[in-house]
Amino acid sequence: MNSYDPFTTRRRMIAFLSCMSISHTQSFVSLDLPVVPSSLPRTRARPIHLTAYRNDDNYYPAASSSPNAQEVTTIAASVPAKKPSSSLPNGGRLTLLGAGPGDPDLLTVAAYKLLQDENNLVIVDRLVSDEILAVVRGEVRRANKYPGCAEQAQNEIYDWCKQGLREGRHVVRLKIGDPFVFGRGGEEVLEFRKFGVEPTVVPGVSAAFSAPLLASIPVTHRSISNQVVMCTGYGRNNTSPDLIQYHKEQTVVFLMAVGRLRELCEKMVTLANYPMQTPVGIVERAGCPDQRTVVGTMENIADLAEKYNVRPPSTIVVGDVVNVLLTEGDFVGEMKSPHMDVMEAG
C-alpha cells in the first residue's frame, strides 16, 4: 500500500493548477492573474487566464458558469469584426471634435489646430457659439437643430459629412462640450462607420463641469455634496429620463433640459422627493460674453427662467452647492466677474 505523502500531493496539485488555462475564443473581459511560484522543487508557475462573458447586463465568470454556445454566437454576432479604416482611399477622413462650453480660450490645443486648418470642412449645429466659429479658418456649414426638426437637421449633418468624405476632404464634426457627454457622439460614430470610415475623436471640456465652475458653483464641496449625477432632459424619441431620488449631499447637473424645466421640477418634487426649497442654478451660454446665471429654488426656478427668457445652451445645477460661494453682492443684476451675472435669487 502506498503511503500518503502530503508534500508529493501538494506538488502535483500546484503543477496541475500551473498548467491550467481557462479560456474561450469569444471573450470580452480578460484578466491575467499570475500564480505565485511555489518554493517546492519541480514546480513552474504559469498565468491562469480568466475570462468573462457579457450577455445583456449579466457577467459570467468563465471559471464558474460560462454561457452556452447559443449565447456565445449571439454575442459574437452583435460585435463588428473590426473597425473601418481611419481614412478612405481618396484621403477623406473625419474628426469628431469637442468645442467646450463656448469660450474659445477653453478649446483644447488639438481643437484649435484643427479649426485653424483652412482645408478642413467644419460642420456644426446651432449650439456652437459664434465666438468658437470665429476661430475657424476653413469652410463652415451650420445646421439649425431646433426643437421639432432636430432629426431633419441631423440627417443634413450626415449628408454634409458624407459629401465631404466623397470629395476626399478632412471633415471636422464640431460639437459643443464633449462629444460623448450627452452629445450623441457615440451615435454619430456608428453612423460614420456606415460611410466606411472610423472617426478620430478629440475630447472637449464638458459643460457639465465647466459651466457650474464659470458660475462660481462647485459641483462638489465637503459636507455639502459628495456625489455628482449628470442627466439629460431629453431621452431618445423626446422621452423623459428616469429621475435620481433626492439625497441631501448630492449635486445633479442637467444638460439639454431648459426646454422642459417646469415639467422637470414638478417631477423631481413629486416623484423624486426633492424639497421645494432645493437650490437650483441655471448657467446660460457658459463662457460666452453674454453668460447669465439665474439662481432660484425648485419652487420658482421655472418662473425665473421664463421671466429672463433663458434659452439653450444652458446647464442646470440642482443642490445645496448652488449657494456655497454666492454672496449678497452677486444678486444685483450687474456683472460682478467676467463669467457671472446672477440675476435673481429665490
Give catalytic residue positions.
125, 145, 256
The residue behind cell 449628470 is 230
Dihedral sign from CA coordinates of 102, 103, 106, 112: positive
- The vertex-283 CA angle with 109 and 126, nearest 5°, equals 60
The residue behind cell 464659470 is 214
Q: Which of these, 327, 274, 211, 233, lies nearest to 219 by C-alpha position?
A: 211
d(CA 47, CA 30): 12
Question: What are the distances in angstroms from CA 17 to CA 47, 61, 66, 88, 273?
Answer: 9, 18, 19, 49, 54
d(CA 97, CA 95): 6
- The amino acid occupying position 3 is S
The Cβ of residue 96 has, within 10 Å, a number of other Cβ atoms equal to 24
d(CA 59, CA 66): 9
d(CA 20, CA 48): 6
Q: Which of these, 344, 338, 346, 233, lies nearest to 291 by C-alpha position?
A: 338
Dihedral sign from CA coordinates of 59, 63, 64, 65: positive
Given its phi and psi angles, is residue 5 left (phi above 0), alpha (psi -120 to 50 degrees) or beta?
beta
Cβ within 8 Å of residue 42, ≥6 positions away: 11, 15
SS3 182: coil
**In 215-260, which residue ranges form alpha helices assigned H by DSSP?**
none
d(CA 316, CA 75): 39
